[in-house]
Structure 1
Amino acid sequence: MNHLIISFITADRPGIVKVLSDLLSTHKANWQKSSLHHMSGVFAGVVEIAVPPENSAALSKELAALADFKMQIEHVQSNDIAPETLLVLELTANDRAGIVQEISSTIHHHGGNLLKLVSKQESAPHSGHKLFKAKVTISADKHNIDTMIDALENLADDLMVDISR
């Protein structure tokens, strides 16, 4: 199987996922992983696809030709290597400019690899000020995890880190 990673953005409207999944089905492709989101009136996503080699070129051509989609298609090698240690962190702090940079730099400085970041901004209960909430998945050497978490917790007095291992 050939593997494709497609990323797209289009004006939000009903039926976007159906258009993509119908096209994949036509080419006997398998939708493997995805992250799809409605943001500020647009629909954006990243999808990993496995497709038979004989259908890969035609599928890529038809994806690129979809009307009203800004589409990027990458042909990649499947990578099924298991990371060292997977860690899921849920972070909450008062929202401020630069918070993602602080978090990503701290993870990187302690040898971690940020695999997934899902964040949102929401109003704090009672006060109504803006909170930054994120769920991050990282891989790291098990010997560096405790110092990495300590460093994250010390970024700010208001940063809370909940850990799932």
Structure 2
Amino acid sequence: MNHLVISCIGPDQSGLVDTLSTIIAKHQGNWQVSSLHHLSGFFAGVIEVAVASEHSQDLITELKGINGLSCQIELAEPNLPKVTSNLVLEITANDRAGIVQEVSSVIHHQSGNLIKLVSSNSSAAHSGQDIFKAKVQIAIADKSIDDLISALEKIADDLMVDISRP
């Protein structure tokens, strides 16, 4: 069994997910995990598919042939140890350029491994100020958590971090 990681981007249009899922099913692929988004008029998605080795190449060829969608496909090694997150950070701050870099740098320098980051931008209800929000899953040694929290709090006065375990 092969595990394919498929990254797709193209102008958003109705039916793209149906097209992807139809092709995957046609080649007896099993849609495992995905993250699909509409971003500034574009469809962007990442999908993991399990598929029998004998169907992999036909599936790859058909996915790469979807008109208007650019797909990059990599063969994953499914026997790697499963990465689990042991901390979830919910971050809220006034939006500004570089905030993702600041947060990811702190996580990296505190020996954390960023597993998943989902972010959004919205306007504050009363002020109209742009607000950055992110939910970040990380793997980090328990002994490093206090240092991580301290370093995150030093990024800016307006940055709030709620921490929980998954």
TM-score by length of 1: 0.96
CA contact 2:6–2:71 (8 Å) conserved in 1: yes
Identify the residue that residue 67 of structure 1 maps to in structure 2.
67
Structure 1 stretch displaced more, 96-105 or 72-81:
72-81
Structure 1 distance, partners of 2:61, 2:16, is 18
Residues 109 and 11 of structure 1: is their aligned pair in 2 closer, same or farther, counting only changes over 3 Å? same
2:37 matches 1:40: no
Identify the residue that residue 86 of structure 2 maps to in structure 1.
86
Residues 80-159 of structure 1 aligned to structure 2 (within 5 Å):
81-83=81-83, 86-159=86-159
Q: Once the 2 structures are TM-superposed, how far is the Cα of residue 150 of structure 1 from its aligned partner?
A: 1.7
CA contact 1:85–1:142 (8 Å) conserved in 2: no
Residues 6-25 of structure 1 aligned to structure 2 (within 5 Å):
6-25=6-25
Amino acid at match of 1:124: A
Tell me the secondary structure at the aligned position of residue 22 of structure 2.
helix
Structure 2: stretches of 5+ with no match in the other structure: none
CA contact 1:93–1:133 (8 Å) conserved in 2: yes
Summarize deviations over 1:111-130 as a string: whole Å, max 9, x none. Answer: 00111111111101210011
Aligned residues: 165
Tell me the secondary structure at the aligned position of residue 6 of structure 1.
strand
Residues 115 and 129 of structure 1: is their aligned pair in 2 closer, same or farther, counting only changes over 3 Å? same
CA RMSD of the aligned region, Å?
Answer: 1.2
TM-score by length of 2: 0.95
Tell me the secondary structure at the aligned position of residue 90 of structure 1.
strand
Residues 45 and 111 of structure 1: is their aligned pair in 2 closer, same or farther, counting only changes over 3 Å? same
Structure 2 distance, partners of 1:10, 1:156, is 36
